[in-house]
Structure 1
Amino acid sequence: MRVELDSLVPSFLGETGDNLRKVFDLAEESRCVMLFDGFDVIARPRDDGQEHGEIKRVISSFMQMAGGYNGRGMLVATSNRQHLPDPAVWRRLDDMLLYDMPDAGRRRLLLGRRLAAIGYTAGPGNLTGRTRGFSAADIAGVCEDAMRRAVLAGRKVGGDDIEWAMRERRRRKRAIKAGA
């Protein structure tokens, strides 16, 4: 069961806890894996001065419900921000898996597979070094963007599509970093 946390948090105060309770009740009734994707939407530090009372109540509710969960399944939470969630939330989780950024060898492997999948036959070549600081998702995004650009232009993926996608990905990464 995938729980989209951004849709769980409605615009009306007080409803989020009720929605969360419904999710846990459903999970108690069936054998499932509950995936809370984008967990940082609700698991922000409770002492964050920018958060209003609703999010603080949701965090507390989640911790109580997770702590009392007796279902036959398992709870999985994902976040791109390992330092953002409330430390008390992390203490209630059984385990935490951290994925580091891929090294050059892993990036070369990812590039090779992704480029082959989109029909780019030149291989990773010198792209590996230029993807330093890229996550696996960034590399996948570069290849998908290059493919999309080529398809819309009615041609096979070429080096210019890859170059364009690399520039766009770097631009997006800078914009995200500047906004963080």
Structure 2
Amino acid sequence: MAGTVVVHAESPLVALVKGSYGVVIDGVRVGRVRQGAVARFPVPAGTHAVGLTVWDGTRSNAVTVEVGEDREFLVAGRGTGLGYAFLLPVLARTVLPWYCTVAMLLLMCALFWAVPGLLFRVRAVGDSYLPAVQGDEPAGPAEGEGVEGEGAGNGLWWESDPALAKRLRKSAGS
């Protein structure tokens, strides 16, 4: 049987133009999703690795999701804001020679390309608990009940790492 991976590309806080991400499931590019939109991708039931890419080859971290039969699993992608770091060499150009600025830009490009998840991250939100057939009752927790240890959260950057959430005294479910 099949399930569905639902990818939500969250809107950036500040953007002149909304871009789009390529969706990669189990190492295969299966489609695209625009920022601020939701896309659904049918997959066989089981465990899958989900990630995002952009046109220049940078990629997000990969999350492993368990998709149930006739179920939807929600995955959210969001930019980290580190893309604004590219303004630093441009601003430094006023005091540094041009070749230092070019070297800094090339180094930053190589770093962002080589390390997945620096420019944008993916987090597994969880099973959507939607009934497969009209009239079925949801199989998940009731509204208002959280699942301990899962980071649904409100999309803050520390939500993707439970250790950071604990260190910053923020509960992953708040």
* TM-score with structure 2 setting the length: 0.20
More strand, by proportion: 2
| Structure of greater relative contact order (alpha carbons < 8 Å, 6+ residues apart) | 2
More helix, by proportion: 1
Larger Rg: 1
